[in-house]
Amino acid sequence: MERTQALLNCLYQEAELLDEGRYREWLALLAQDVRYQVPVRVTKERGPEGGVSGVMEGMYHLDEDYTSLEMRVARLETGFAWAEDPPSRLRHFVTNVRIGEPRPTPKGEESEVRSNLLIFRSRWDRPDYTLLSAERRDVWRQEEGGWRLARRTVVLDSATLPTHNLAFFF
């Protein structure tokens, strides 16, 4: 129960950091060997075994490691990142959290954490907004000082994205 609560807290704390644009603090939640991927999803026929369809291997919207995520954050700090300056108003709605059994690994104890995500994004002074829905399939690892995100795969619920860019994190 303690582990469940700790991981739930991680997800909610992470959403707060992302919604408030505190990206340096968000980086501190990531493991140094983090793999962060948002695969391209396409419309395909239903497979005989069911499951999610059309999640492509090999092409992504984001395929990041710690260094590249740090680069994206550093960019936002330059004062010239027009896509998010002025910033979007973002809200990460994290629901349906499913926490797997812990398993020991050479790098520390890891736990699978799946969650549903609804991102609300509004920009400028216009009343329009964008909604992006997804499932996040994470692996969190217990390291010194707490849980760190070691792996995230974002399964989008869109083929063609209804937004002009992905200048934010899932």
Partner 1 sequence: MAKVKTGVSPRLSRMLEELQEGVEDGLVPAWIFNDPELFELEKEKIFSRAWVYLAHESEIPKPGDYVLRYVLDNPYILVRGEDGVVRALLDMCRHRGMRVCRAELGNASHFRCPFHGWTYRNDGRLIGVPAEREAFGQDFNKEEWGLVPIPRLEAFDGMIFGNLDPEAPSLAEWLGDIRWYLELVTKRSPQGLEVLGPPQRWVVHTDWKLALETFLSDSYHTLMTHRSLIELGIAPKDAKYAMYGEQIHIPGKGHGSMVVGAPPGAKLPPFWGYPEEMLERARTSYPTPEQFETARETRILLVTLFPNFSFHNPIRKPDHKYQGAVPMLTFRVWHPLGPGRIEIFSWALVEKDAPEWFKEKTRHSYLRFFGSSGTFEQDDTEIWSHVAHNAATPQGRHLRLNYRMGLKLEPDPNWPGPGVAYGLNFTDANMRNFHRRYLEMLLS
167 binds partner 1 (CB under 8 A): yes
Least Cβ distance, residue 78 to partner 1 (angstroms): 4
Contact predicate 36/62, CB 8 Å: yes
73 binds partner 1 (CB under 8 A): no
Residues in the chain: 170
DSSP state, 102? -
Least Cβ distance, residue 109 to partner 1 (angstroms): 29
What is the spatial distance between Cα 11 and Cα 94, in angstroms, rounded to a whole number?
Answer: 7
- Token pair in block for residue 145: 């000082």
What is the spatial distance between Cα 144 and Cα 107, in angstroms, rounded to a whole number?
Answer: 11
Stretch that binds partner 1, among 9-17, 26-34, 60-68, 90-98 (CB under 8 A): 60-68
125 binds partner 1 (CB under 8 A): no
Residues that bind partner 1 (CB under 8 A): 38, 40, 42-45, 54, 56, 58-65, 67-68, 71-72, 74-75, 78-84, 159-167
